[in-house]
């Protein structure tokens, strides 16, 4: 996720910009750059890390500058695509977070007028647009340029002969840091905390002129006074947005992640999905992945078979090497959060060698999976720091819903109703997060046991696997996920009053069978916690405890259930004092076979 910083004051700007960018490194980035103003605007940028850029910079005594760390969206990670971007004359430099939806129209128009562009980015149109309106008054030129932009932006503008920074915000965060005889700008508070704890949060539509001694903000041409807040956190707290762990922060980001992933592919006007994928003929689908991503594939199989009536096979990527399966007109989809999992990359290569068309579903722009696969579908989880996958999993589920619904063979009304429901999922997930305390209590209870089972049927069976994986991974409690009907074929031997069972009970065609299985378990005196629909009035009679989730169409139940199945192990692990964000023996990106 991109980060932006700016400084104006009496100190040397360059080291401040570099240090502030380093404070934003936890967000993930692939390239970075700064622009400082001495007699002219000087831009230094490159692919790679901030410390590398810092080592390569000539000494400089400029007192104002801007900086950026880029997480590629438009165009690959490279020196040319890195920010800051400048106009033709090199006198106006801009750093930008967000997406300019109409950049291509603006670029075409400016190109006709003689502007030359060198990057693939949407951002580069901004300095050129400002240049085209500039007639001596920078603020006026920026205001006119903003009037032409559609989309989201947080931006800082620096221009030759101007002892000021221009800032603007629309749907991308921008914070001003208030100093004594100096002022700061950043996309996120951690970038400021080495220098000041006094911040002003800009609001959508705000445009500002920042000098060393003054912050002047306008909104709709009216002067506005925004409150100055004192930040009570340390830098460490701030990077985690006030949460105790990245995992908890990332769990809480899920309403936004769902919204962003869906918004990228769903029309704003009507319930129509456009994945932007080149469509080819296929007879069946093979889904490949590892770990949590494999569980997203299993949910995907239920969806594709149910909604699209397409035959689907799912394979653990590391096992696909040994498969002699004959693949005909098979569409092979590999799911990988990191895009770097060696087992998945090997499986994708094999599928290509077998002549199959391949799609990578990933969170990481330009990752190896995107280079191997014929096409890529980006989920929009933004960087995930905690080793345990949470928000990326929910985004992968959304990718599966979008693909299944776009392939759906059902009457138009049913398809549109389901498509519309995608947009209400963020609020349903938010309701679970607002009631987190009830789940925390059950998590603490689970922490006292050494073994647990997770059971479910149908589309939620993969959620039993995922719930158990999360519990093992971060709380080190041994857990197994089973199809509820399978427990009596062996694992029953392990049921005792010391073996809690988490039963995921959806209000669908699996309900009666789930109740039967729960009764069988209760007869063995194991404690049962149900994760159940809030409209289910009977479930309390059969189980010891119930965690309620908002009612959704049953095909979406894995989304709401997944949030509970992340928070339960989080609170169990916390109670046990585990290293939640970095569990022992695990790595975020598994690049070995
Ligand atoms: C579990 C987890 C892992 C990953 C697996 C695949 O929380 O994160 O099981 O899902 O290592 O990783 P990706 O999706 O990067 O291929």
HSE at residue 494, side-chain half, CA atoms within 13 A, is: 14
State the distance from the centre of ligand 1 to the C-alpha of 504, rounded, in angstroms: 22
Does 33 have pLDDT greater than 90?
yes
Structure confidence at residue 366 (pLDDT): 66
296 ligand 1 Cβ < 6 A: no
Rounded to whole angstroms, the Cα distance separating 70 from 31 reads 5
What pLDDT digit, counting tens, does each position of 140-150 carry?
A: 999 999 999 99
Q: Output the residue whose Cα is nearest ligand 1's atom 5.
A: 291
526 ligand 1 Cβ < 6 A: no
593 band by pLDDT with thresholds 50, 70 and 90: low
Closest ligand 1 atom number to CA of residue 362: 14
State the distance from the centre of ligand 1 to the C-alpha of 337, rounded, in angstroms: 7
State the distance from the centre of ligand 1 to the C-alpha of 291, rounded, in angstroms: 5
What pLDDT digit, counting tens, does each position of 232-287 carry?
A: 777 766 678 889 999 999 999 999 999 989 988 888 788 889 998 887 789 999 99
Peptide bond into 465 cis (omega under 30): no
Find the DSSP H helices in 340-460: 342-353, 368-372, 391-406, 412-421, 425-434, 436-446
State the distance from the centre of ligand 1 to the C-alpha of 131, rounded, in angstroms: 46
What pLDDT digit, counting tens, does each position of 367-391 carry?
A: 789 889 999 999 988 878 899 999 9
Q: Output the residue whose Cα is nearest ligand 1's atom 10.
A: 292
414 band by pLDDT with thresholds 50, 70 and 90: very high
- CB distance 37 to 93 below 8 Å: no
What pLDDT digit, counting tens, does each position of 557-591 carry?
A: 999 999 999 999 999 999 999 999 988 887 777 76
Least confident of 100-104, 107-111, 265-269: 265-269
Structure confidence at residue 565 (pLDDT): 98
Rounded to whole angstroms, the Cα distance separating 408 from 553 reads 16
State the distance from the centre of ligand 1 to the C-alpha of 88, rounded, in angstroms: 44
Structure confidence at residue 242 (pLDDT): 83
Q: Are strands 153-159 and 175-178 parallel, antiparallel or unpaired?
A: unpaired
Question: Would you please indicate which residues are annotated as catalytic (active-site) residues?
Answer: 2, 588
Rounded to whole angstroms, the Cα distance separating 545 from 298 reads 28
- Residues of the chain with pLDDT > 70, as a percent, come to 98
362 ligand 1 Cβ < 6 A: no
Structure confidence at residue 266 (pLDDT): 87
State the distance from the centre of ligand 1 to the C-alpha of 549, rounded, in angstroms: 25
Mean pLDDT of the region 290-309: 97
Give me the residues paired with residue 35 across strands.
43, 66
Mean pLDDT of the chain: 93
- pTM for the complete prediction? 0.76
Residue 350, both tokens: 């094999």
337 ligand 1 Cβ < 6 A: yes
- Closest by CA position to 176, among listed 237, 243, 252, 229: 229
Beta-carbon contacts of 263 under 8 Å, excluding residues fewer than 6 positions away, are none
Ligand 1: residue of 341, 400, 468 to mutate (most ligand atoms within 8 A of CB) is: 341
State the distance from the centre of ligand 1 to the C-alpha of 289, rounded, in angstroms: 8
Rounded to whole angstroms, the Cα distance separating 367 from 351 reads 18
3-state secondary structure of 156: strand
- CB distance 14 to 193 below 8 Å: no
State the distance from the centre of ligand 1 to the C-alpha of 424, rounded, in angstroms: 27
569 ligand 1 Cβ < 6 A: no
Distance from CA of residue 259 to its chain's centroid?
A: 10
529 ligand 1 Cβ < 6 A: no
Does 13 have pLDDT greater than 90?
yes
Residue 591, both tokens: 């690049």
Beta-carbon contacts of 111 under 8 Å, excluding residues fewer than 6 positions away, are 117
CA dihedral 561, 456, 384, 119 (to 10 degrees): -90
Rounded to whole angstroms, the Cα distance separating 549 from 430 reads 11
HSE at residue 64, side-chain half, CA atoms within 13 A, is: 26
Q: Is the dihedral of CA 145, 146, 147, 151 positive or negative?
A: positive
Structure confidence at residue 591 (pLDDT): 65
Rounded to whole angstroms, the Cα distance separating 392 from 386 reads 11
Alpha carbon distance, N-terminus to C-terminus of the chain: 28
Ligand 1: residue of 28, 337, 566, 580 to mutate (most ligand atoms within 8 A of CB) is: 337
388 ligand 1 Cβ < 6 A: yes
182 ligand 1 Cβ < 6 A: no
Rounded to whole angstroms, the Cα distance separating 297 from 295 reads 5
What pLDDT digit, counting tens, does each position of 470-523 carry?
A: 999 999 999 999 999 999 999 999 999 999 999 999 999 999 999 999 999 999
Closest ligand 1 atom number to CA of residue 396: 14
Ligand 1: residue of 28, 250, 293, 373 to mutate (most ligand atoms within 8 A of CB) is: 293
Ligand 1: residue of 290, 316, 396 to mutate (most ligand atoms within 8 A of CB) is: 290
């Amino acid at each position: 996720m991109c980060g932006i910083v700016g400084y104006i004051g009496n100190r040397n700007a360059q080291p401040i910009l570099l240090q502030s960018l380093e404070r934003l490194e936890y967000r993930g980035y692939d390239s970075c750059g700064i622009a400082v103003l001495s007699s002219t605007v000087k831009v230094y940028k490159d692919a790679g890390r901030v410390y590398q850029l810092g080592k390569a910079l000539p000494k400089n005594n400029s007192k104002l500058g801007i900086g950026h760390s880029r997480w590629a969206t438009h165009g690959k990670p490279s020196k040319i695509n890195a920010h800051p971007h400048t106009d033709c004359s090199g006198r106006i430099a801009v750093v930008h977070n967000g997406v300019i939806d109409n950049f291509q129209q603006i670029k075409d128009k400016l190109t006709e007028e003689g502007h030359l562009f060198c990057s693939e980015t949407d951002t580069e149109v901004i300095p050129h647009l400002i240049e085209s309106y500039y007639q001596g008054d920078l603020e006026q030129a920026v205001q006119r340029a903003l009037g032409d932009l559609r989309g989201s932006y947080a931006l800082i503008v620096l221009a030759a002969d101007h002892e000021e920074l221009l800032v603007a915000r629309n749907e991308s965060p921008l914070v001003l840091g208030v100093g004594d005889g100096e002022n700061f700008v950043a996309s996120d508070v951690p970038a400021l905390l080495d220098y000041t704890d006094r911040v002003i949060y800009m609001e959508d539509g705000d445009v500002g002129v920042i000098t060393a001694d003054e912050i002047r903000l306008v909104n709709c041409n009216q002067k506005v006074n925004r409150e100055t807040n004192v930040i009570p956190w340390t830098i460490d707290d701030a990077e985690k947005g006030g949460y105790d762990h990245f995992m908890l922060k990332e769990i809480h980001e899920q309403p936004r992640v769902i919204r962003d992933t869906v918004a990228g592919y769903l029309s704003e006007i009507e319930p129509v999905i456009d994945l932007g994928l080149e469509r080819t003929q296929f007879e069946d689908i093979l889904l490949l992945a590892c770990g949590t991503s494999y569980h997203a594939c299993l949910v995907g199989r239920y969806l594709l078979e149910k909604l699209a009536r397409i035959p689907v096979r799912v394979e653990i990527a590391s096992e696909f090497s040994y498969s002699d399966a004959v693949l005909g007109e098979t569409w092979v989809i590999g799911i990988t959060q990191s895009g770097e999992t060696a087992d998945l990359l090997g499986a994708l290569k094999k599928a290509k060698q077998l002549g199959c068309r391949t799609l990578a579903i990933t969170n990481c722009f330009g990752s190896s999976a995107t280079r191997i696969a014929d096409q890529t579908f980006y989920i929009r989880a933004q960087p995930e720091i905690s080793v345990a996958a949470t928000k990326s999993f929910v985004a992968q589920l959304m990718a599966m819903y979008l693909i299944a619904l776009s392939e759906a063979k059902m009457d138009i009304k049913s398809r549109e109703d389901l498509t519309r429901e995608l947009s209400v999922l963020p609020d349903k997930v938010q309701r679970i997060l607002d009631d987190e305390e009830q789940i925390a209590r059950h998590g603490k209870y689970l922490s006292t046991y050494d073994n647990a089972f997770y059971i479910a049927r149908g589309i939620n069976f993969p959620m039993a696997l995922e719930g158990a994986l999360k519990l093992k991974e971060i709380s080190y409690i041994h857990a197994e996920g089973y199809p509820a009907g399978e427990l009596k074929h062996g694992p029953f031997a392990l049921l005792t009053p010391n073996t809690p069972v988490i039963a995921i009970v959806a209000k669908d065609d699996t309900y009666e069978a789930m109740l039967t299985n729960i009764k069988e378990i209760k007869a063995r005196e194991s404690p049962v916690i149900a994760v159940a629909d809030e409209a289910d009035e009977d479930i309390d009679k059969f189980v010891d405890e119930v965690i309620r989730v908002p009612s959704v169409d049953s095909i979406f139940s894995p989304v709401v259930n997944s949030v509970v199945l992340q928070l339960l192990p989080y609170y169990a692990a916390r109670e046990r004092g585990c290293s939640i964000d970095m569990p022992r023996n695990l790595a975020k990106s598994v690049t070995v076979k």
